[in-house]
Amino acid sequence: MRLILLGAPGAGKGTQANYIREKFGIPQISTGDMLRAAVKAGTPLGLEAKAIMDAGGLVRDDIIIGLVKERIAQDDCGNGFLFDGFPRTIPQAEAMIAAGVDIDYVVEIDVPDVAIVERMAGRRVHLASGRTYHVAFNPPKAAGKDDVTGEELVQRDDDKEETVKKRLSVYHEQTAVLVGFYGKLAESDSAKAPKYVKIDGTRAVETVRDEVLKALGA
């Protein structure tokens, strides 16, 4: 099972990725994890990437693709892998195809921006314990207070409405175009084209999980 998980920040990709990993026994691979591991291991590509990052530059796509090929050749990818947050751009997607990295499925968790803003901007956290609440969906017993300690809840900077909207804007500019790219690829006659699955992510987590796994033949 070799798949790519697409969706905006806050669409619930992380939660669904965990279910997919457990079901198929495959690792979840992100660009950041790959870069950190290659840098730590001191591989030639890792050292090259480190030099670029230390200089404040963006790691080139050819290096990223090289790291991908190294990573998926490792033993834990024997049953497949789940790419999370990669590819981020069409050039990366095209480079992956050119490098012969085959994908079985592209799964999009589709949630409208307005629902994502509501989800994320409503989150509140008790920092000391990590307990999380939502002003609409899972409110504390007393407004703004942790149920256990009575201490103040906070809204993390990442969850503030303006931050969420900014992240969504970046997603639509850079990554949302992959939805169209892989959609068209799936409609082509190419034997190498992955199947494209679009899942309504606005429903209950368990409902989304069941539909994702069913679409993947589990």
9: left (phi over 0), alpha (psi -120 to 50) or beta: beta
List 23, 50, 167, 195, catalytic entry: 167
Which residue ranges are tagged as binding site? 10-15, 31, 36, 57-59, 85-88, 92, 123, 132-133, 156, 167, 203
Would residue 119 show up in a list of annotated catalytic residues for this protein?
Answer: no
Q: Is the dihedral of CA 33, 94, 14, 186 positive or negative?
A: negative
* Of 2, 13, 124, 209, catalytic: 13
Is 88 an active-site residue? yes
Q: Are 8 and 116 in contact (CB under 8 A)?
A: yes
Instruction: Identify the active-site residue in 2, 119, 123, 124.
Output: 123
User: Which is the catalytic residue, given 21, 23, 50, 88?
Assistant: 88
Catalytic residue among 40, 60, 141, 156: 156
Known binding residues for AMP: 31, 36, 57-59, 85-88, 92, 156, 167
**Does 2 participate in catalysis according to the annotation?**
no
Residue stretches of the annotated binding site for ATP: 10-15, 123, 132-133, 203
Residues assigned a catalytic role: 13, 88, 123, 156, 167
